[in-house]
Amino acid sequence: MDKMQSVVLVVHTFIAVMIIVLVLMQRGKGAEAGAAFGAGASGTVFGARGSTNFFSRATAFLATAFFVSSLTLAYMSSQHNDAPDSLLEDAAPIEVEQDTAEPAAEQLPELPAIEDEPPSGEESEFPVLQEAPPAETEEQSTQ
């Protein structure tokens, strides 16, 4: 079934490329205006009538073949059922190891106690802040 699906996919891709080529080779609706000024269709390979009829029929045929190959690929992919319904079905179970170590909080070293005043005879790295004197009010400053 996989080989058949691959063949249909290659044919489908080839048809898509051929449709692109045919559409690019066709003339637009405004191309006939140029034929009136000397770029006529008398020198074309497909005759005086031009290539419109041939390209239109070839495009219609390839579009039908593309539609049929699309339906065939959709049918083949729906019949291909060896994939799991869920991603978790084929997943291997994960084994969780139990950690016997003590929690991280108990592993931290003890911090030294904070002292308000340095021991006698030693100066602290950081000076102790003293309280600021009370601010004067306006009445006291005017007297």
In a domain? residue 66: yes
Distance (Å, rounded) from C-alpha 39 to C-alpha 126? Answer: 98
The answer to whether residue 124 sits within a structural domain is no
Q: In this structure, is residue 9 part of a structural domain?
A: no
Identity (one letter) of the amino acid at 121?
Answer: G
- 0.85 surpassed by pTM: no
Euclidean distance between CA atoms 143 and 133, whole angstroms: 19
Give yes or no for a contact between 83 and 77, defined as CB atoms under 8 angstroms apart.
no
pLDDT digits (tens, 9 = 90+) for 16-52: 999 999 999 887 766 555 555 555 554 555 555 556 6
Query: How many folded domains does the chain comprise?
Result: 1
The answer as to whether 31 is a domain residue is no
Q: 73 is in which domain, residue-wise?
A: 53-81
State how far the alpha carbon of 1 is from the alpha carbons of 11, 75, 79, 82, 128, in Å.
16, 12, 9, 12, 87
The answer to whether position 42 is within a domain reads: no
Over residues 41-88, the pLDDT tens digits come to 545 555 555 566 888 899 999 999 999 999 999 998 888 666 666 777
